Amino acid sequence: MSQASDGSRSLHLSQVTKEFAAFTAVKSIDLEVPHGSFFALLGPSGCGKTTTLRMVAGLETPTSGSIRIGDTDITYAKPYQRPVNTVFQSYALFPHLDIYENVAFGLRRRRSPEVDRQVKEMLELVELTSQARKKPPQLSGGQQQRVALARALINRPDVLLLDEPLGALDLKLRRAMQLELKRIQTEVGLTFIHVTHDQEEAMTMADTIAVMNAGEIEQMGAPNDLYENPKTTFVANFLGQSNLIAGKVLGPDGDFVKVDMHGVTVSIPVSRAHAAGADGWIGIRPEKVLIAAVGEEIDAPGNHLDGGIVTDVSFVGVSTQYLVRMPWGQELQVFEQNTGRRRLFAKGETVDLSWRPEYAFLLDASQDVTAGIEDD
Amino acid sequence: MSPIARTWRWIREHVVLALGLLVLTYMFVPIAVVVLMSFNDPGKSKNVYTFRHFTLHNWMHPCAPAGMCHSVGLSLGIGLLATIIATIIGTMAAFGMVRHEFAGRSLANTVIFLPMASPEIVMGSSLLALFVSTQVALGFVTILIAHVMFCLSFVVVTVKARLTGLDDNLEQAAMDLYANETETFWRVTFPLVLPGILGAALLSFSLSFDDYIITNLNAGQSTTFPMFVWGAAQRGVPMQVNVIGTVMFLIAITLVLGNELNNRRQARALATR
Ligand SMILES: Nc1ncnc2c1ncn2[C@@H]1O[C@H](COP(=O)(O)OP(=O)(O)OP(=O)(O)O)[C@@H](O)[C@H]1O
Ligand SMILES: [Mg+2]
């Protein structure tokens, strides 16, 4: 029964579409965000994240589709009639009001009792008590960001929308605020929808990530599911890095699918094979690839490749990153933990590669192999 | 360092300050003359433009010249009314022109500049032609109509500039924080546009108080302060005109200084908190 009371405040988007003149910013997306979860909307710039949030906040009307919180349809409700608050990408603090009044704004509009106590507690929470009487322009970027958070959070909305709230902060403050946000979310138990284009941020903070691309949701799931079992080349490349190798599907074999990869037969679990046709991309994360000297035994029973030549070695402390050219000309990335058990390989050495079949995945060959690779 | 180099450096370091002081002097000499002349006792002399004796008489009896205080009252009344009307209508027009899409919006934006750009004498005489042909009696009402008309475009332009510079996100944030349309307007939009509206009102008042050409054409039997001064100047301006000028200047400077002091006090209060 407690499940029901929680479910009654979860957020549902069904078939939501937003068109601007001739341009479709959001294409028929379906989302379900359970109450109390930390949900991250991840995607490259311009993919429609802000537009999606604005429709949930009521600042934009969907062209079609519906938005519900629990059983209440809020698709066309006014922004001030929704139990939803937003932390804006640009903060949007009221410049003519001091910090205290900015934070109190929502409570005063709702004629809430005990405004003073609540505001003081909230300022305490975001450590801005000493700044209460300053005006927003007199605060640093990080402080303004915390005011924006406090101003939204104090209303205890069913859903809190955060539009890249950490975007303007430097790395150190950003990490600190990530932990802080996560702590606050756990403490108050509200639903957070956090928009970001920082995949690391999404993975460390969220219970569920939805990866958006060009107005559509490519894949949704727990961070490790998304990372370990991406269903599209976009997700495979956008979330971390992947080696994608062309292959021909030979057919099923028990729980595995056999795929011919440039003359070598490799196996991929059925649950991780997402290719519809006869061709596919075999995907393997660089840290899952094991590297060994020719003929040396590799402690991985399974897909085994030889004839690789090391073309680049970069030592990054905790790990060593190799580029290995395979006989078919493609360079694969290999990350090895520096456990000290294996020697470093030098440029030009011939090596064998291997990986455990259960770590590989298979994607449809019709997809662009470079989709989602960030060019930075 | 040679003396020449040192002198040259001194000049370089102080030239901006010196130029600034010169410009300020240039601007304030006429005002200083007005203040000085308000204490002048010209005696029986016909030449009222030279300082002869110090006296407080002008200040003790500001309304001595016949009709002057009445004209000041008329100018103040018209100035206040015209300011209020023009500010209200102009502000609403500015909101309409910035916030609403309508056919002919860009045309309206251009047309609003026309009264500012056309010569006063043209505006004045065409208004006069209008009033005469429609048989409206010239006087207080026609002056007021004329003043509202020329103040309007200044108000629209000033308020529009402020409104265009306003971040849309602020109003959306207010709505997101449970303020309905009315509350959003009064708690966020209006306070943020208010400095623009106040600026527009001050500008309107000084334009109205000051106007001679359009007023003179449409005044009928009424006499505003500028008309009084103009008329009196033929015979020699009464010293009390300088008293009025000084008072106006004092009011203006009090407004500016008061605002400045208030800002500083707030800044200091924040710094010591
Ligand atoms: N009012 C509008 N009119 C026309 N096009 C719009 C409008 N708002 C957004 N768009 C377009 O919709 C697309 C998605 O915009 P959106 O702001 O949702 O991107 P985003 O994912 O939030 O990107 P970013 O990470 O850069 O903030 C963009 O291509 C944008 O140009
Ligand atoms: Mg955005």
A21 backbone dihedrals φ, ψ, rounded to 5°: 45, -115
What is d(CA A363, CA A371) in angstroms, rounded to the nearest whole number? 12
* Pocket of ligand 1 contains residue A51 by CB under 6 Å: yes
Phi-psi category of B167—alpha, beta or left, where left has phi over 0 and alpha has psi -120 to 50?
Answer: beta
Name which of A100, A149, A153 is nearest B273 in CA terms.
A100
At B175 the pLDDT is 96
pLDDT in tens, B164-175: 999 989 999 999
What's at B26, amino acid-wise? Y
The answer to whether A151 contacts B177, with C-beta atoms less than 8 Å apart, is yes
CA separation for the pair A244, A368 (Å, rounded): 11
Does B178 contact chain A (CB < 8 Å)?
yes
CA of A75 to the centre of ligand 2 (A): 20
A250 CA to centre of own chain:
33
- Other Cβ atoms within 10 Å of A2 Cβ, number: 6
pLDDT band at A296 (very low <50, low <70, confident <90, very high): confident
Please tell me the predicted confidence (pLDDT) of residue A2: 37
| Chain B residue at shortest CA distance from A148 | B173
Q: Do B178 and A80 touch (CB under 8 A)?
A: yes
Q: Per the CB < 8 Å rule, is A109 touching B169?
A: no
Rounded-to-integer distance, Cα B154 and Cα B15, Å? 36
Closest CA to B203 of B112, B34, B86, B30: B86
Determine the 3-state secondary structure of A235 from DSSP. Answer: helix
Inter-chain CB proximity B178 and A155 less than 8 Å: yes
Question: What are A252's two structure tokens?
Answer: 């099923």
The model's pTM is 0.80
ipTM: 0.81
- For residue A199, give every residue at least 6 positions away whose Cβ sits within 8 Å of its Cβ, in sequence order, or none: A42, A238, A239, A240
A329 pLDDT higher than 70: yes
Name the pLDDT band for A177 (thresholds 50, 70, 90): confident
Compute the distance between CA of residue B256 and CA of residue B250 in angstroms, rounded to an integer: 10
One-letter-per-residue 3-state SS of chain B: CCHHHHHHHHHHHHHHHHHHHHHHHHHHHHHHHHHHHCCEECCCCCCCCCCCEECCHHHHCCCCCCCHHHHHHHHHHHHHHHHHHHHHHHHHHHHHHHHCCCCCHHHHHHHCCHHHHCCHHHHHHHHHHHHHHCCCCCCHHHHHHHHHHHHHHHHHHHHHHHHHCCCHHHHHHHHHCCCCHHHHHHHHHHHHHHHHHHHHHHHHHHHHHHCCHHHHHHCCCCCCHHHHHHHHHCCCCCCHHHHHHHHHHHHHHHHHHHHHHHHHHHHHHHHHC
pLDDT at B237: 85
**Structure-token pair, residue A264:** 């070598």
Cα B176 to ligand 1 centroid, rounded to whole Å = 19
Which domains does chain A possess?
A: 6-228 (3.40.50.300), 241-364 (2.40.50.140)
Give, using CA atoms, the residue closest to atom 9 of ligand 1: A51
A84 shares contact with chain B (CB less than 8 Å) = yes
Query: If you average pLDDT over residues A69-85, what whole number do you get?
Result: 94
Q: Which CATH superfamily includes the segment(s) B66-238?
A: MetI-like (1.10.3720.10)
> Is the beta carbon of A25 within 6 A of some atom in ligand 1?
yes
Atom 24 of ligand 1 has which residue's CA nearest to it? A45
- For an interface test with B, the pick among A53, A82, A86 (most B C-beta atoms closer than 10 Å) comes out as A86
**Cα angle: A239, vertex A242, A247; to 5 degrees:** 135
Quick check: A83 pLDDT over 90? Answer: yes
Q: Does A105 touch chain B (CB under 8 A)?
A: yes
C-beta A215 within 6 A of ligand 1: no
pLDDT at B43 over 80: no
Pocket probe mutation, ligand 1, options A20, A163, A199, A213, max atoms within 8 Å of Cβ: A20
CB of A50 sitting under 6 A from ligand 1: yes
Per-residue pLDDT, A150: 92
Nearest CA in chain B to A80: B178
d(CA A272, CA B1): 83
> What pLDDT band is residue A184 in, cutting at 50, 70 and 90?
confident
Query: Cβ contact (<8 Å) for A92 and B179?
Result: no
Q: Sorting pLDDT into bands at 50, 70 and 90, what band is B266?
A: confident
d(Cα A351, Cα A310) in Å, to the nearest integer? 7
- Cβ contact B173–A86 (<8 Å): yes
Residues B159 and B166: beta-carbon distance below 8 Å: no
Residues of chain B with CATH 1.10.3720.10: 66-238
Instruction: Tell me if A18 CB under 6 Å of ligand 1.
Output: no
Query: Are A213 and A372 within 8 A, CB to CB?
Result: yes
| A126 has a pLDDT exceeding 90 | no
